[in-house]
Structure 1
Amino acid sequence: MAYNYPPEKLSVYLSDDGGSILTYYGMWEASLFAKHWLPFCKRYNIEPRSPAAYFSQSDGHQELCTPKEWSLIKDMFDEMTERIDTAVMSGKVPEEIKARQKGFHEWNQEITSKNHQPIVQILIDGKDQNAVISNSPIIMNVDCDMYSNNNDAVRDALCFFLDEEMGHKIGFVQYPQNYNNLSKNDIYGNSLQVINEVEMGGMDSLGGPLYIGTGCFHRREILCGRKFTKDYQEDWNAGIKDKLQESIDETEEKAKSLAACTYEHGTQWGDEIGVKYGCAVEDVITGLAIHCRGWESVYNNPKKPAFMGVGPTTLAQTILQHKRWSEGNLSIFLSKYNVFLFGHGKTKLRHQMGYHIYGLWAPNSLATLYYVIIPSLALLKGTPLFPEITSPWIAPFVYVFCVKNMYSLYEALSSGDTLKGWWNGQRMWLVKRITSYLFGVLDNLRKLLGLSKMNFVVSPKVSDEDESKRYEQEIMEFGSSDPEYVIIGTITLLNLVCLLGGLSKVMKVGWNNIHLDALFPQLILCGMVVITSIPFYEAMFLRKDKGRIPFPVTLASIGFVMLALLPAIV
């Protein structure tokens, strides 16, 4: 609401599918604070205009305003935050607050997060019924854990739509997804720097970036299924036509029937119209459908990020998020929306290939599992799998290994990552492939066999104080007995045993007798896995804090390693 844009042209909707009275209470408190905060923002042109972000970054009033005025607005924000936190901790809204606002009367003892009637309340500008239901030609959506970091983001996006030469071709403008809570070296590889700076920028030149579900400006008409035509012209006055004649109460009741979504039953909503349903990454498939209707998209990545959000800060959160992403993208690849089929003749081949970078994330787990298991077992047994190091046939393997790592390092450093951050990213590349992506494959297989259905799991972004402290110290977080940790423990221990066993065999038998040049590539591969896995060995055997790998996980991993070694030993 504090954007550098005429407020009468902005309509803000906040939705909570769970129907929480605490969410509504937070909205109500924010609406009261907004009456003081918005004039303060406009008067002094402050940045960022999210109060929580602003006060966490600001050292004081400095040259913006008088100390008294700054302290007054800061105290109002702190008091509001304290009231909301108190209500959340107690799990209920104070009775005196409920009596002051009619919206709280919508809740009763029978309402649950999964079973409640549509609840619609107008908190700001409720005196103008024409401001209640908007028919504006542009829709922006942002995730609940993100805030605006640039008050000119709306104007910047509209510049693309209003471009005289290319604007009529643009279906949506996508901003990158940036996080403000990640450490400098990004121990879990969640910064998305390379994706934001390299991959999405590359997609922009192929026909447009993916729709990533947040920080995006859409034309309303394309969400309603409109196909691109060369003579298309946007009616920028459409949003102010057909003024409503009903009262606020009548409009509110009509909005409740709209929120119930019963009008969608038996229609093309969720298929041909609106956001696609039935997929864990509904944003990607929605953007694909828009591209296949002839529209292009634009990637806008300003130096000052338009939006900032909260990224995963534990290993469990990271694995869960990438499992959902990889599972959803693979489900698109295996469905009728496969880009090569659905986009044939509608989008360029190179654009289709860009989409498949993400569609094939999950299947890459199978090749990775092979390379971190089979060569190591063969090393222990003394069986060479690669050409000898002196053979010219080793050149393709050396080329791929060197160029891949050199280029990924160049991409990371040029995108703003540190050298240590790149190394952490290589470790997480391995972890995600043997856990998140593997489970993405297995879940898709179960769905194809009819054993399960698509299940959307929201990625938690909240960590306790101890977890946050370990994250700041760049210590990896485990602490639970999840099956993903058993896989990680098994793979890392297997490679350690095979490396030590292979080296001991070389030392006993002799360098010449065991043909070291034939086993050297496997020694390098196994050694790389071991070196990147040092934090996992520490978590299993050295650490004593609550974030270490639990002993049952270590014990199970040792058991699986012993089973895997039986064929190699025999």
Structure 2
Amino acid sequence: MYSNDPQTPLRVLCYVCDPAMRSKLGYVQFPQHFHGLNKNDIYASEYKRMYQINSMGLDGLMGPNYVGPGCFFVRRAFFGGPFPSTMLPPEIPQLGPDYVVDKPITSEAVLALAHKVAACNYENQTQWGSKIGFRYGSTSEDLFTGYRLKCEGWKGVLCKPQRAAFLGDVPITLLDLLTQCKRWSIGQYQVGFCKHSPLTFGIRSMGLLMSLGYSYYSFWSIWSIPVTTYAFLPQLALLNGVSIFPEISKPWFFLYVFLFLGAYGQDLLEFVLAGASVGRWWNDQRMWLIKGLSCFLFATVEYLLKSFGFSTHGFTVTSKVVDDEQGKRYEQGTFEFGVTSPMFVPITMAAIINLFSFILGMIQVSGSSSKTDGLCLQTLLSGFVVINSWPIYEAIGFRKDRGKMPNKVTITAIFLAGVVYIAASLILK
């Protein structure tokens, strides 16, 4: 991230110096904005809901969640609650919130202190990380830190000027974005299932509404369960001629259609009202489906393995290095695969199974048999996934560049899709 508006510190001071809020104001958060996004933001990298739409809603309660860059903290907020009785003394007096520096920055004493606090172990045997400063225990330290400050009684405020205060880079390959999202998701699970969980500790400290707002992010990756279910179960049933939804002639059919169109219609309306295009909304909902089958799913499995004591991959830093060819494909709105990754296998499996189920469903439904009326919803659902999966079909069969789907991923996905189909056939029969 880098500064995009020299007036930003003055905007912050307007809040910090406001006597009506300064006693409980912990931080001022600016929405994250990014430069270099392609026209329709194919990877939904701006996270419009999290950084802009949802933050405006939380601002009506105790303030937006702290989302990393673009945030100014009141120093006192790192030393306990906003009330004098809850303030904690710092282990080093010179680091306290009320300490006034009376020496030049180049003085020997200041430089010696700087070297001390820059060491990797200066906070050992102190309250730093648990009750003072940024909070340890989660790879999503921004979510955890902001959440704990809210629990202590501090409030945040969203400052959303017309000109973006900061601009940042985004990943331009699908794998980098999914890896970044998986790291966040594991950290969010660490917040959701810790002793300070928003569902227990948060409700007592912040109230129901604010704790539900943090629970939404803490358990974000649980979306992988319904997304995976809807990506495979109705389609496998359709391939075996089994109806699991109401028939088209039944009133319940229209309820399903209403819920589907209503949910997507509301989401589209929120996106458009927030200043986004329909093209960006389409890619956002597409990426939500892809994440549910990849990074959300893998984060859930990895967190469960860690919880039961199994070792997993370590911390991975998101690459934002721009390759010329990758950058060109990104600007053209072409999905970048290119490397063999386990996270590409489930989304490729879903694309293959949905394609075959949609073709078979269309053949059966076109027969106008009363027996196939119950397969209409499953056929429509498969068709919806097929439309969303076009970049995957393109990467499998139509592209020759280095960003296409690796053959190893395609072969693995076809084999596993066949295994899943055989297993489903045995169960459904």
TM-score higher than 0.5: yes
Deviations 1:4-62 (A, max 9, x none): xxxxxxxxxxxxxxxxxxxxxxxxxxxxxxxxxxxxxxxxxxxxxxxxxxxxxxxxxxx
Counterpart of 2:412 in structure 1 is 556
Measure the CA separation in 2 of the matches of 1:498 and 1:395: 22
One-letter amino acid matched to 2:249: T
Matches within 5 A, 1:2-401: 146-228=1-83, 241=100, 243-244=102-103, 248-401=107-260
Measure the CA separation in 2 of the matches of 1:499 and 1:218: 53
Which of 354, 378, 382 aligns to 1:495? It is 354
Of all paired residues, the percent bearing the same amino acid is 37
SS of the residue aligned with 2:73?
Answer: strand
User: Alpha-carbon deviation of 1:201?
Assistant: 0.3
Which of 264, 268, 275 aligns to 1:416? It is 275
User: Alpha-carbon deviation of 1:280?
Assistant: 0.8
Measure the CA separation in 2 of the matches of 1:182 and 1:431: 19
User: Alpha-carbon deviation of 1:565?
Assistant: 1.7
SS of the residue aligned with 1:477?
Answer: coil
Change in Cα spacing, 1:160 to 1:520, as seen in structure 2 (3 Å) is: same
Measure the CA separation in 2 of the matches of 1:213 and 1:197: 14
Alpha carbons 2:361, 2:375 under 8 Å: kept:
no
Measure the CA separation in 1 of the matches of 2:42 and 2:250: 38
User: Alpha-carbon deviation of 1:569?
Assistant: 4.9
Measure the CA separation in 1 of the matches of 2:237 and 2:111: 69
Aligned-residue CA RMSD (Å): 2.2
Deviations 1:292-342 (A, max 9, x none): 111111011111011100011111111011111222112211111211212
User: Alpha-carbon deviation of 1:254?
Assistant: 3.3
Alpha carbons 1:380, 1:568 under 8 Å: kept:
no
Residue 512 (1) aligns with residue 369 (2): yes
Query: How does the TM-score come out when normalised to structure 1?
Result: 0.70
Higher RCO structure, 1 or 2 (CA under 8 Å, sep 6+): 2
One-letter amino acid matched to 1:525: L
Moved more, 495-504 or 167-176: 495-504
Largest Rg, 1 or 2: 1
Counterpart of 2:402 in structure 1 is 546
Measure the CA separation in 2 of the matches of 1:156 and 1:442: 43
Query: How does the TM-score come out when normalised to structure 2?
Result: 0.92
SS of the residue aligned with 2:122?
Answer: helix
Which 5+ residue runs of structure 2 have no aligned equivalent? Answer: 88-95
Counterpart of 2:318 in structure 1 is 459
Aligned residues: 418
Which 5+ residue runs of structure 1 have no aligned equivalent? Answer: 1-145
Alpha carbons 2:286, 2:388 under 8 Å: kept:
yes
